[in-house]
Amino acid sequence: MVSRVIPVKPFDLVIFGGTGDLARRKILPGLFRRFIAGQMPSDARIIGAARSDIDAQGFRDMVRQAVSEFGGTLGDKALAEYDELDSFLAQLDYVTIDAMGEQGWSELRSKVRKELVNAFYFSVAPSLFGDIAERLKKHGLADEDSRIVVEKPFGRDLSSAQELNETLASFFKEKQIYRIDHYLGKETVQNLMALRFGNIMFEPLWNANYVDHIQITVAETVGVSGRGAYYDKSGAMRDMVQNHLMQLLCLIAMEPPSQFSSDSVRDEKLKVIRALQPVAPHEIVRGQYDATETTLSYREDAENPRTFTESFIMMKTHIANFRWAGVPFYLRTGKRMSNRASEIAVVFKALPHSIFDSNDHGRNVLSIQLQPDEGITMDMTIKEPGPGGMRLVNVPLDMSFADALGPDADDVPDAYERLIMDVIRGNQTLFMRGDEVEAAWAWTDPIIEDWKARNDVPKPYDSGSMGPLDSQALMQRDGRAWRELKK
Ligand code: NAD
C-alpha cells in the first residue's frame, strides 16, 4: 500500500501555551511526525507564545527535550533520533506573551505572515480564551481567513459554554473556530464512518431491528493524582461523557449524512444529541476508586475527604428516534480500572431461529477498539474446524491496522497531528460545532443537577477493577453483560 502524504499549504501556526504540558506531550511531537512524513512545508513556521521568558533558541531546546521525552518511536527508531529534527527545530520561533496584558503582541504581529494560512492554537486554560481572542483582533493578527483552535473543557455547563461561544463569536465566525475533541482525530473513529457509509452490508442492519444494544467503554488505569483538585471540580461525567463518549455515540448512531462535509456530518450528530433521552437515576452508577497498598484513594487524590465527585460512571441511555427506539446504549468510563482500553461494541440480536442444535454459540458483535491498539473486529459464528460433527464456534475476524497496513501503519497520524493538519486545510468535519457542544451540555446538566439535589454519593470500587459491581448488575438486570476488554 503506497502512503499518500499531501503537503498542506504553507502556514504560520501560533501555539499559545507552547511551553505547557499539552504542547510538549502531544502538539509539538505530533507536528514533528508530520514534518518527517513530509506534510509540513519547508516555509511553514510554528511560533510558541507563552508566559515563559525564553527566546527562540530556548524554545527549540525545550521542544528537542519534549520530542525525546514524549515522542515515542516511529518505525523502529526513537522519534528524537530522526535526522530531520534540526530542520524541524529551525522552523520554530517563540514570543514571550501575556494573554491578559499587552506584552509581546506587537512582536507576534511582526512575525505572523498574513499571506499564509494563519492558525492560532489556544493551548491554555479556558479562562484565557476570551482574552486571547480579543487581543488577536485588537492587534490586527486575525482576519476572516484565520483559524482558532480551542481545547477542552469547553465550558462546565450549558450557561458557561453559551457564554464562551458568545465571546468567541464576537471575534470569530463559526467557520473559523475549531473545538478539539481528540477522540474524533483517531484513525478508528474515522474508520467507523468509512465502515458504516462506505460498505453496503452494515447500514441495512444498523438499527433497532437487528442491533440488540451498544456498549461504549473508555477505561483508564491511571488515577487523578497530581491533578486531583482540578479533576474534582469536573468528574467523569463532565470530563469524559459530555465530550468524548458523546462524540463516539454520535458517530455510531447518526443518520448517513448526504455528503462527507463538515456541516452535513455535524448536523446529523446534533440530531442524535438532541434525541438523547434523559437518564433516570436508577440507570446510572457512579463510583470512586479505593486506595491500594501503593496508591491513594480518589478522595485522597482529590484532597477532599467529603467529595461526591465521580471517578467512574456507567449509564444506560436511549435515543428517541425511528432507528434506535428501544435500543439501549450503555456507556462507562473511569479511572484506575483494570485495563487501559477503549472500545465501542455493536452487539447484534440473536438469530430468530437456529437450525443447529444450539443457539448459544454467540452473537455477531462488531467491535471498534480505540485503545491500546486501534482496530476493528467482527465476531462471527463458524463451524469449528475438524471432524466431530457440526460444532459451532464464535471467532473474531480481526482487522488490526498494524497487520492490514504493514509498514504504512506507522504513517497513520496520531489524533492531534491529524486534527492540526485539518485546521490548516480548513476542514472542520472532525471538530465540534458550537451548537453540538451546547446540546451536549443541555443533556448533561439536569443529570448532574439531580445528583447535587439528592446529595448522591458515589459507590466505592477497587482500584484495578472495572468499577462498582452495580455497573455489572445494571447490565445483568437487562439480561446482558459487559464484554471483556482486550488487555
Ligand atoms: P499547562 O498549565 O501545562 O500550560 C499552560 C500554558 O499556558 C503554559 O505554556 C503557560 O506559559 C501559558 N500561560 C498561562 N498563563 C498565561 C498568560 N497569562 N499569558 C500567556 N501564556 C500563559 O496546561 P496544559 O496542560 O498544557 O493545558 C492547556 C489546555 O489544554 C487547557 O485548556 C487544558 O484543559 C487542555 N488540555 C490539556 C490536556 C493535557 O494532556 N495536558 C489534555 C486535554 C486538554
The reply to whether 409 falls in a domain is yes
Structural domain tally of the chain?
A: 2
3-state DSSP call for residue 109?
helix
Is residue 352 scored above 90 in pLDDT? no
Does ligand 1 lie within 6 Å of residue 96's CB atom? no
Q: Are residues 42 and 188 in the same domain?
A: no
What pLDDT does residue 232 have?
97
Question: Of residues 396 and 422, which shows the higher confidence score?
Answer: 422
The reply to whether 57 falls in a domain is yes
Catalytic status, residue 318: no
3-state DSSP call for residue 8?
coil
* Residue with CA nearest ligand 1 atom 38: 22
What pLDDT does residue 294 have?
95
**pLDDT tens-digit profile of 32-66?**
999 999 999 999 999 999 999 999 999 999 999 99
Candidate from 274-283, 375-384, 440-449 with smallest mean pLDDT: 375-384
Angle separating helix axes 246-253 and 187-198, nearest 10 degrees: 20
CA of 22 to the centre of ligand 1 (A): 7
Select from 126, 151, 176 the last residue of a domain: 151
What pLDDT does residue 184 have?
93
Does ligand 1 lie within 6 Å of residue 131's CB atom? no
Q: Are residues 26 and 138 in the same domain?
A: yes
* Residue with CA nearest ligand 1 atom 44: 152
Does ligand 1 lie within 6 Å of residue 361's CB atom? no
What pLDDT does residue 406 have?
58
Does ligand 1 lie within 6 Å of residue 98's CB atom? yes
Is residue 91 scored above 60 in pLDDT? yes
* Residue with CA nearest ligand 1 atom 15: 51
Amino acid identity at 252: I
Within 10 angstroms of residue 29's Cβ, the number of other Cβ atoms is 24
Whole-number average pLDDT of the chain? 94
The reply to whether 179 falls in a domain is no
Within 10 angstroms of residue 296's Cβ, the number of other Cβ atoms is 19
Residues 129-144, mean pLDDT to the nearest whole number = 95
What pLDDT does residue 469 have?
97
CA of 17 to the centre of ligand 1 (A): 5
CA of 122 to the centre of ligand 1 (A): 8
What pLDDT does residue 353 have?
86
Q: Are residues 430 and 319 in the same domain?
A: yes
Candidate from 23-27, 92-96, 312-316, 410-414 with smallest mean pLDDT: 410-414
Q: What is the DSSP letter of 157?
A: S
CA-126 nearest atom, ligand 1: 32
What pLDDT does residue 411 have?
58
Ligand 1, pocket-test mutation among 15, 16, 22, most atoms within 8 A of CB:
22
Distance in angstroms (rounded) separating the CA atoms of residues 447 and 237: 9
Select from 151, 175, 194 the last residue of a domain: 151
Q: Are residues 373 and 432 in the same domain?
A: yes
Q: CA 65, 67, 70, 75: dihedral to nearest 10 degrees? A: -140
DSSP one-letter string for 409-457? GGGSPPHHHHHHHHHHHT--TTSB-HHHHHHHHHHHHHHHHHHHHHTPP
**pLDDT tens-digit profile of 106-131?**
999 999 999 999 999 999 999 999 99
What pLDDT does residue 461 have?
98
Q: Are residues 226 and 124 in the same domain?
A: no
What pLDDT does residue 175 have?
97
Distance in angstroms (rounded) separating the CA atoms of residues 348 and 339: 25
Confidence of residue 413 (pLDDT cuts 50, 70, 90): confident
Q: Which of 139, 182, 213, 244 is catalytic?
A: 244
Distance in angstroms (rounded) separating the CA atoms of residues 235 and 239: 6
Q: Are residues 265 and 364 in the same domain?
A: yes
Does ligand 1 lie within 6 Å of residue 151's CB atom? yes
Residues 281-310, mean pLDDT to the nearest whole number = 97
Burial (0-12, 13-18, 19+ Cβ within 10 Å), 452: exposed
CA of 249 to the centre of ligand 1 (A): 28
CA of 97 to the centre of ligand 1 (A): 14
What pLDDT does residue 372 have?
84
List phi, psi (to 5°) of 326: 85, -5
* Highest mean predicted confidence (pLDDT) among 95-109, 180-194, 395-409: 95-109
Q: What percent of the chain has pLDDT over 90?
A: 84
What pLDDT does residue 486 have?
75
**pLDDT tens-digit profile of 156-174?**
999 999 999 999 999 999 9
Question: Of residues 408 and 422, which shows the higher confidence score?
Answer: 422
What pLDDT does residue 408 have?
57
Residues 305-319, mean pLDDT to the nearest whole number = 97
CA-100 nearest atom, ligand 1: 18
The reply to whether 414 falls in a domain is yes
Q: Are residues 139 and 203 in the same domain?
A: no
Backbone angle region of 316, left / alpha / beta, with phi > 0 → left and psi within -120 to 50 → alpha: beta
DSSP E strands, 159-311: 177-179, 211-219, 284-289
Q: Residue 63 is placed in which grid cell?
A: 521542544
Is residue 403 scored above 70 in pLDDT? no
What pLDDT does residue 20 have?
97
Confidence of residue 384 (pLDDT cuts 50, 70, 90): confident
Is residue 401 scored above 80 in pLDDT? no
The reply to whether 469 falls in a domain is yes
Give the helix/strand (H/E) hosting 268: helix 262-275
* Residue with CA nearest ligand 1 atom 42: 22
Ligand 1, pocket-test mutation among 16, 19, 21, most atoms within 8 A of CB:
21
Does ligand 1 lie within 6 Å of residue 327's CB atom? no
User: Largest Cα–Cα distance in the chain?
Assistant: 81
CA of 199 to the centre of ligand 1 (A): 41
Within 10 angstroms of residue 141's Cβ, the number of other Cβ atoms is 20
What pLDDT does residue 410 have?
57
Name the residue range of residue 43's domain.
Answer: 11-151
Does ligand 1 lie within 6 Å of residue 15's CB atom? no
* Residue with CA nearest ligand 1 atom 7: 17
The reply to whether 61 falls in a domain is yes
- Buried b / exposed e along 329-358 (16+ C-beta atoms within 10 A): bbbbbbbbbebebbbbbbbbeeeeeeeeee
Does ligand 1 lie within 6 Å of residue 102's CB atom? no
Residues 6+ apart with CB under 8 A from 206: 196, 323, 346
Residues 6+ apart with CB under 8 A from 271: 254, 255, 321
**pLDDT tens-digit profile of 224-278?**
988 999 999 999 999 999 999 999 999 999 999 999 999 999 999 999 999 999 9
CA of 65 to the centre of ligand 1 (A): 18
Does ligand 1 lie within 6 Å of residue 19's CB atom? yes
CA of 99 to the centre of ligand 1 (A): 12
Is residue 487 scored above 90 in pLDDT? no
CATH of the domain at 400: 3.30.360.10
Confidence of residue 387 (pLDDT cuts 50, 70, 90): confident
Q: Are residues 146 and 201 in the same domain?
A: no
